[in-house]
Structure 1
């Protein structure tokens, strides 16, 4: 449970080797978070994350978690809450896919959607129910500004995030009054290892900036945050553009 000052004591990260996940966990560990569980597939990046977080004094363990193995989510995740209360669950996994390839290969497109949406739904429901039973906690869901309006350059990824975003909003409403808080994070294009080599979009951000936004959002008990904050107003305008105008704007962005 959070301490008397509202600091996070325990953290579960789904997708524990992602740049945003590691940056967020590090910032929380530098504060007062001492118990961290990284749920992800084994990798050198996950090992490096463990070493980094332990260097900040956190008690870190890993759990083998596969976003696409939907049937395993309850078996893997539910027992973690029986070991002790978890203050924050950060859902940080996701894949960008390759739009041109995925348009030609429906099975590749399906994998993007299954990872970003179906896997997120099943794992979120397991964690939300566990948080509800313990009577407190926050579920932080990484969405994207791409969820606001699909562009032809990334409509498969964008549609998967749009589904996740709508799901997370409804989940948060369903948990109202239970002591469980859902926070949706909508970052712009994030410069990470996953986006290396891709053209930057306007108002790009970094994993560190997203982590700062998450930590501040948790302090405020926010329901939705945008990173960087001004992108909220830019996307509000984009959302209302007539489709012919939007196509021209999106074409310029690639």
Structure 2
């Protein structure tokens, strides 16, 4: 169960090598979290991530999980919940893709969509059902400001995140009153391995800053978290810019 401050004692990270996921796990372990599951494709990187968290004093376990194999999600994730209650699930997997390449190779674009959206729908529903059955817990979904309005430079990624964001909001409404809390996190440009080599966007942030915002959101039982917070106003304005003008903006 969560403590009096809303910090989970147990955590499941879907996307066990995610930099934001691991930054969040480290932050929560420093507070209260004692059991962590890292779900991801078996790899040396996954085991290294687990070892790093164990060094902080947590009981860390790994579970084989592939966003692109939804047929196995219920079985794989069901085994985690069978071991005991999970206070928080962090859905942190996703791929950025390469917009120019993916436009020329539709199957690559489909892979981005399947990972970021359909894989997340499958895993999200499986975890939501398990959390509802145990009667408590939080499902934290990493969305993106890119999903707020599709841009020419990354509309494939942005559209997949738009779908995920809408799904998570609807899921939160469906679970309202059940004891399960759904929180959508919308970071801007995050300096990470995923964005290595790309120029910083305005209001760029870090995995650690996103982790801090997640912890604050859990304490407040927020439904939507923007990182940094100033993006809420920025994106509210951009959503209403007339389309001919929006096309000319350097965004």
What's the TM-score bracket when you normalise by the shorter of the two chains? Answer: over 0.9
Aligned to 1:13: 13
Shift of 1:7: 2.6
Change (3 A) 1:5 1:215: closer
Aligned to 1:111: 111
Note the alpha carbon deviations across 1:108-142, whole angstroms, 9 max, x for none.
Answer: 00000000000000000000000000000000000
Aligned to 1:56: 56
Note the alpha carbon deviations across 1:15-50, whole angstroms, 9 max, x for none.
Answer: 010100000000001111000000001223222211
Alpha-carbon distance between aligned partners in 1 of 2:88 and 2:174, rounded to the nearest angstrom? 18
Aligned to 2:223: 223
Task: Name the count of aligned residue pairs.
Answer: 251
Which segment is superposed worse, 81-90 or 43-52?
43-52
Partner SS for 1:81: helix
Partner SS for 2:79: helix
Alpha-carbon distance between aligned partners in 1 of 2:38 and 2:93, rounded to the nearest angstrom? 11
Which segment is superposed worse, 220-229 or 192-201?
192-201
Aligned to 1:247: 247
Alpha-carbon distance between aligned partners in 1 of 2:73 and 2:114, rounded to the nearest angstrom? 14
Instruction: Determine whether 1:177 maps to 2:144.
Output: no
Which segment is superposed worse, 75-84 or 92-101?
75-84
Q: TM-score, normalised by structure 2?
A: 0.98
Q: Structure 1: which 5+ residue stretches go unaligned?
A: none
| Regions of 4+ moved over 6 Å | none
Alpha-carbon distance between aligned partners in 2 of 1:128 and 1:201, rounded to the nearest angstrom? 33
Which segment is superposed worse, 197-206 or 163-172?
197-206
Instruction: Determine whether 1:31 maps to 2:31.
Output: yes
Partner SS for 1:20: helix
Q: TM-score, normalised by structure 1?
A: 0.97
Alpha-carbon distance between aligned partners in 2 of 1:82 and 1:47, rounded to the nearest angstrom? 22
| Equivalent residues of 2:6, 2:218 under 8 A apart | no
Alpha-carbon distance between aligned partners in 1 of 2:18 and 2:90, rounded to the nearest angstrom? 11
Partner SS for 1:248: coil
Alpha-carbon distance between aligned partners in 2 of 1:45 and 1:155, rounded to the nearest angstrom? 30
Aligned to 1:77: 77
Aligned to 1:2: 2
| Equivalent residues of 2:186, 2:224 under 8 A apart | yes
Note the alpha carbon deviations across 1:171-209, whole angstroms, 9 max, x for none.
Answer: 000001100000000000100011100121111110000
Note the alpha carbon deviations across 1:53-92, whole angstroms, 9 max, x for none.
Answer: 1111000000010000010000100121121100000000
Partner SS for 1:139: strand
Aligned to 1:195: 195
Alpha-carbon distance between aligned partners in 1 of 2:116 and 2:233, rounded to the nearest angstrom? 25
